[in-house]
A and B are shown apart, each in its own frame.
Chain A
Amino acid sequence: MAAASFTAAKFLAPVAGRSGGDRPAPFLPAPSSARPLRRTRPAQRLLAVSSDVLAGNKAAPAAAAQPAVTREEALELYEDMVLGRNFEDMCAQMYYRGKMFGFVHLYNGQEAVSTGFIKLLNQPDCVVSTYRDHVHALSKGVPARSVMAELFGKATGCCRGQGGSMHMFSEPHNVLGGFAFIGEGIPVATGAAFAAKYRHEVLKQSSPDGLDVTLAFFGDGTANNGQFFECLNMAQLWKLPIVFVVENNLWAIGMSHIRATSDPEIWKKGPAFGMPGVHVDGMDVLKVREVAKEAIDRARRGEGPTLVECETYRFRGHSLADPDELRRPDEKSHYAARDPIMSLKKYIIEQSLASEAELKSIEKRIDDVVEEAVDFADASPLPPRSQLLENVFADPKGFGIGPDGKYRCEDPKFTQGTAQV
């Protein structure tokens, strides 16, 4: 069935090309080992939030002295994950009520990856995603009402209703899409990272934080696609400030990752291109965040890309049209028990970072935000007919010169009739 479940972050660096000092040979675990793996750095061992806690790991209490996050950080992470979950649940409701159409792919269960990574970014950093992009946009700061209005196809959506569920873009928040074909966002992310390096080296526009980082999110199915490998090569070749985040939820619609992939351990493909490959428990936001911190800092310092494989799971089907019959109930319940929101809640309460009541008030606030987003989207107008031909070209002279000698776009009736080019 699924690959062996790893309970802690594994760090595998390429053997050649690391500067300074002897490094131990890369450590590969025994095939069915489930013991926690020691990392190569003597850093604070991250307290396991999900599986170890549930399994009653004896090492946990000793390391529990120092929580891995501050109270503010924990609440920020909690709020972001709850927003993602509630928003997606509302999408399902709205879809079945006929307010939302087409293909809608929900992110339930994977919130730890989006929150764990994106909450570490600054405004100039970029996020590139796939069709499962609502929560990436929300984590990056796109207002819930803009995303909901876009899903309803209204003119007030973040893409003026022209994109839809699979094409979330936001220039002010540097969300570069939203791509329907898997893999086609990865070169775009590589280009955004290239532009960041170019700005620093050619245009001499430097920021005290370092290079602007780009995160490319994609799934296990994409990790078999040519564009993935081509971009791993180019990103490492030019040491681009990018992190490749694989959201391995084990299924590409109905194709299990094991059936589709000769070597299912995706993190191993990083060292093949000369970059570090990391596997992390993607149901645990704190572990994801720790790995993300290191990968993003590497990129900012100009040390190049990292491949991070997050083992995660989607609680719903591939899309709202997917009957989800192929996945076994025991697999689903295994991951449902590792619900990232439940786990973080448990951690926050056990570490006394906040009270149950405070968490409930966050949930209530998020409920209001999502309700307000739906009301806003409902009340917004549909795009007018005249919007059809707007934005096809940034310079609308690209619609050419008409028979009367004027640029077509200068004709007042231009957007009313059939698109004649």
Chain B
Amino acid sequence: MAAAAASLHATAAVSKSRSAAIPQVATSVRVAAASRGPGSARARGGLVVARAAAVKDEAADTNSGGHEVLMFEALREAMIEEMTLDPTVCMIGEDVGDYGGSYKVSKGLSEMFGDLRVLDTPIAENSFTGMGVGAAMKGLRPVVEGMNMGFLLLAYNQISNNCGMLHYTSGGQFKIPIVIRGPGGVGRQLGAEHSQRLESYFQSIPGLQMVACSTPYNAKGLLKAAIRSENPVVVFEHVLLYNMKEKIPDEDYICCLEEAEMVRPGSQVTILTYSRMRYHVMQAVKTLVNKGYDPEVIDIRSLKPFDLHTIGNSVKKTHRVLIVEECMRTGGIGASLRSAIIDNFWDELDAPPMCLSSQDVPTPYAAPLEDATVVQPPQIVAAIEEICR
């Protein structure tokens, strides 16, 4: 089914000749849509707001050519473009400089920009994240990399107390335009501590915005938007997705931080997912389509705040919801999302919203146990059959 929804990527949203000044406009920018889906666009003071989420516009894509990248290369492109455009953008993390980043996201960047802009830190997550906060308060735009998201547990004090809170407790005097990014999620037998999902731990922090990328297109777009945003944004990447390949536009584009992405429009049941589970869902969808189901798949992308408009429109259409996530069951993103759906769309539901999450266990090392920890496609198929009964 062709993606008919509006696209959000701009053909010329950002001029490359922009000066070094930090953009005045707040950067969760709704850029002009290259094409519009039916009934979707609503003009607001000059900026066109697309109702549905960012999907690559196929027509514009073939026109401009585009180029194929792996996800880590897309992130790297985003870093290079933003660091070139704005000299206050810098990178802080372990092994981001000489080593090029443990997942090669910053490969070659310290040769390009120097080792003060691409700062190799000692192993002190709490302190270098706090350093990023202090630098952000004084006008820089740091991108702090956690070598693995799990390591940022050590930085929790700074992320919660300072990133999240300082704009508020200072009465709005200081802004913290910091981006915290890194790979998380369950990998291939990496062991419990390298297989953590921190989305649920950070989601309650007031003042923090969270996005999760899943494709090279949205990875580049979201990282660029996060860097330009005045808010502290945590960008969740996934260890197993760095080698995903996709063709992305040549021209500059960003994705809206607060919007969800329509992956597959449908009519029967809404599946909400993010990050790696999107691929498990799409694999299950193949089976489901063969069995005659018509699921609508939305990649929520914005973990905090939720895009209740896109989600709500979908629920109003299908009346059934399944959430598939990699977070733990207890207190995960799915738990909050289910709650938000019940609060806002109770009357639309024909069945209780179901949530498939990881087990509440430290990820075991053994392969069959690890597979059983996360949600697998057969479970998704079974859940849809259950909901649609």
* A interface, CB within 8 angstroms of B: 126, 128, 157-164, 167, 169-171, 176-181, 184, 186-199, 201-203, 226-227, 230-231, 233-234, 237, 390-395, 397-405, 407-408, 421
Contact = CB atoms under 8 A, between A and B. Distances in A.
Given A176-B134, A188-B137, A198-B116, A392 B209 contact: no
28 contacts: A126-B138, A158-B173, A167-B169, A171-B173, A181-B157, A184-B130, A186-B127, A188-B130, A190-B134, A191-B136, A198-B140, A202-B90, A227-B126, A230-B127, A234-B124, A234-B127, A234-B128, A390-B172, A392-B168, A393-B209, A394-B172, A394-B175, A394-B176, A397-B28, A398-B207, A399-B305, A400-B308, A403-B345
Nearest to B138: A195
Contacts of B132: 191
Interface in B7-38: 20, 26-28
Nearest to B130: A187
B304 interface: yes
Given A192-B137, A198-B90, A421-B305, A401 B169 contact: no
Contacts of B270: none
B69 interface: no
A164 B170 CA distance: 9
A192 B174 CA distance: 12
A120 to B, nearest CB: 20
Given A202-B116, A392-B206, A402-B308, A187 B140 contact: no
B170 A171 contact: yes
A395 B208 CA distance: 11
Contact of B170 (A126, A169, A398, A404): A169
Contact of B258 (A177, A188, A195, A397): A397
Contacts of A171: 170, 173-174
Interface stretch (B72-80, B159-167, B282-290, B374-382): B159-167
The 9 tightest CB contacts between A and B, nearest first, are A191-B134, A187-B130, A400-B305, A160-B171, A169-B170, A159-B171, A230-B127, A188-B134, A195-B138
Nearest to B26: A395
A404 B258 CA distance: 14
Interface string B169-191: 11111111100000000000000
A234 B257 CA distance: 33
Given A187-B130, A187-B131, A399-B305, A230 B124 contact: yes
Contacts of B65: none
Interface string B341-379: 000110000000000000000000000000000000000
B137 A191 contact: yes
A391 B275 CA distance: 30
A234 B134 contact: no
Contacts of B20: 203
Interface residues of B, number: 67
A421 B205 CA distance: 11
B122 interface: yes
Contacts of A180: 161
A163 B166 CA distance: 9
Contacts of B128: 187, 230, 234
B144 to A, nearest CB: 10
Contacts of A176: 134, 137-138, 174
A387 to B, nearest CB: 9
B309 A163 contact: no
Contacts of A390: 172
Interface in B40-90: 42, 49, 51, 87-88, 90
B309 A404 contact: yes
B255 to A, nearest CB: 14
Nearest to B90: A198
Nearest to B344: A403
B134 A187 contact: yes
A358 to B, nearest CB: 37
B307 interface: yes
B245 to A, nearest CB: 31
B331 interface: no
B366 to A, nearest CB: 34
B345 A202 contact: no
A226 B90 CA distance: 25
Given A203-B88, A397-B28, 15 more contacts: A162-B170, A163-B170, A186-B130, A191-B138, A195-B135, A196-B138, A199-B139, A202-B90, A234-B124, A393-B230, A394-B175, A394-B176, A398-B28, A398-B207, A398-B209
A181 B130 CA distance: 13
Contact of A202 (B87, B161, B229): B87
A184 B137 contact: no
Most buried by B among A170, A176, A191, A203: A191
A127 to B, nearest CB: 12
A177 B166 contact: yes
Nearest to A169: B170
B133 interface: yes
Nearest to B132: A191
Contacts of A404: 309
B258 A400 contact: yes
A188 B171 contact: no
B158 A187 contact: yes
A390 B172 CA distance: 8
B121 interface: yes
